[in-house]
Structure 1
Amino acid sequence: MPVRSLMGRRRAPVILVLGALLAGALSGCSGEAGAAAVVDGHKITVAELQATAKDLAPYLKDVSQANVLLVLIVAPTFDKAAAQEGVGVSDQQARDLLASQAPKGSGKAAAPTEFSPGAIEVARFTLVQQQLQGLPNAAAVAKRVTKQLAALHPEVNPRYGKIDLTTGKLTSPSYPWLVTKAAAG
């Protein structure tokens, strides 16, 4: 009997260390607890991302958290470019856009009357894109923004996938241990 208890005591520290390593690996975003992404020191929290996706659900068909996260990552770069070009967009203009697009009696979820900061950012991003595309030097601005985006190195929580700002895509994570119905036969 004493042999078993000795072995159990020796295994406990190993199990604790393995558990700590696993917890660290699963947390993602370089130890930023609760982060969906970190961009230039700015943390986009999972809670913020979820609130934004929920606020936008009545406006966008099949809105995914990954797509919302991509916009939240790149929007500040577009905001800066718009401000530099003199076509910045205010939070109020973004709120007005959301209010004007509120679904009415369509059977969809009711549109919120107050919006999360993330939802306002996504709406502002939409307006900023329109403003930038309408500039006479739109091609030069787009080139500059693309260069600035390429210089960003956002850390994205692996549960949302991998980001490639050169293509503007956030690829979904793959789970090779899950078998799809088609593969299962």
Structure 2
Amino acid sequence: MHRRTALSVSTALLLAAPLLSACSGQARPGTAAVVGGERITTSALQAQVNEVRAAQNRTGQAAAELIAGTPNLERQKLDAMLQSRIIDKMAKTAGISVSAKEIEDERKAYVEENKGTEQFEALLLQKGAMAPGQVDRFLRDRVLLTKLTAKYGNGKLEEPARTAAKALHIEVNPRYGSFDVQQIKLGAGETPWITQRTRPEQAPAGA
């Protein structure tokens, strides 16, 4: 079984650029972020948040604990959306692509390691605040990160990530936090962008 990266979906690679602010200094209404000149709308962000809350509520007795453990879910989901776009940019720059078969193979490996689809999806919800409908994007990111690591070297993705973030001219609506340019992350998150683990169940809570 090949090694795979841990669940690390709560942080993004971000670098500020003056795209959100209008002449008045206020963010454009309905915009959560701008990435590569394209908007991430607040409605798209809220849809992801609603998916996660609905999935959490379906867990029965665990629902209250899961909800209480994700008080900043909007920021967390925006982090993940931005991270995915930066991974895509890194992959494009490196000439790396991913096929449907590779994503499906990654899914099968995770399902096998976690003893079933239900257990795998429950882990993603618990550790990554990710609803079942968001799993495909997670798997795509995992495959691309594995290929990027093979190209640049283990633990050497930070500089290509900064380069990608700069090229995308990302800016986030201030209501969701501020940029830490050196750490390349949004808000006050403490988890490094990329961590390596042998199995997803070893990921820290809130990763």
Give the TM-score taking structure 2 as reference length: 0.48
* Aligned 8 A contact 1:77 1:148 in 2: yes
* Aligned 8 A contact 1:164 1:170 in 2: yes
Matched, 1:137 2:146: no
Q: What is the letter of the counterpart of residue 137 of structure 1?
A: Y
Give the equivalent residue in structure 1 for 2:98.
89
Give the equivalent residue in structure 1 for 2:33.
37
Report the alpha carbon displacement of residue 85 of structure 1 after superposing the two structures with TM: 4.0
1:89-108: CA deviation from partner (whole Å, max 9, x where unpaired): 357727x749842229x9xx
* Aligned 8 A contact 2:37 2:169 in 1: no
* Greater mean alpha carbon deviation, residues 122-131 or residues 43-52: 122-131
Matched, 1:69 2:69: no
Q: What is the letter of the counterpart of residue 103 of structure 1?
A: A
Give the equivalent residue in structure 2 for 1:162.
178
* Aligned 8 A contact 2:162 2:184 in 1: no
Tell me how far apart the structure 1 counterparts of residues 50 and 95 of structure 2 sit (CA, whole Å): 32
Report the alpha carbon displacement of residue 153 of structure 1 after superposing the two structures with TM: 3.2
SS in 1 for 2:75: helix
* Aligned 8 A contact 1:149 1:166 in 2: no
1:40-91: CA deviation from partner (whole Å, max 9, x where unpaired): 22111112112223434659x6452212212222322311322454543357
Alignment of 1:2-81 (within 5 A): 28-29=26-27, 31=28, 33-56=29-52, 58=55, 62-63=69-70, 64-81=73-90
Question: Is the radius of gyration larger for structure 1 or structure 2?
Answer: 1
* Aligned 8 A contact 1:72 1:122 in 2: no
Q: Which runs of 5+ in 1 are unaligned?
A: 1-23, 173-185
How many residue pairs were aligned?
137
* Aligned 8 A contact 1:82 1:128 in 2: yes
Q: Which runs of 5+ in 2 are unaligned?
A: 1-22, 57-65, 112-116, 126-130, 189-207
Tell me how far apart the structure 1 counterparts of residues 83 and 151 of structure 2 sit (CA, whole Å): 22
SS in 2 for 1:81: helix
Give the equivalent residue in structure 2 for 1:21.
none
Which protein is richer in helix relative to its size?
Answer: 1
SS in 2 for 1:102: helix
Q: Percent identity?
A: 26
Larger RCO: Structure 1 or Structure 2 (Cα < 8 Å, ≥ 6 residues apart)?
2
**Of residues 96, 108, 121 in structure 2, which corresponds to 1:102?**
121
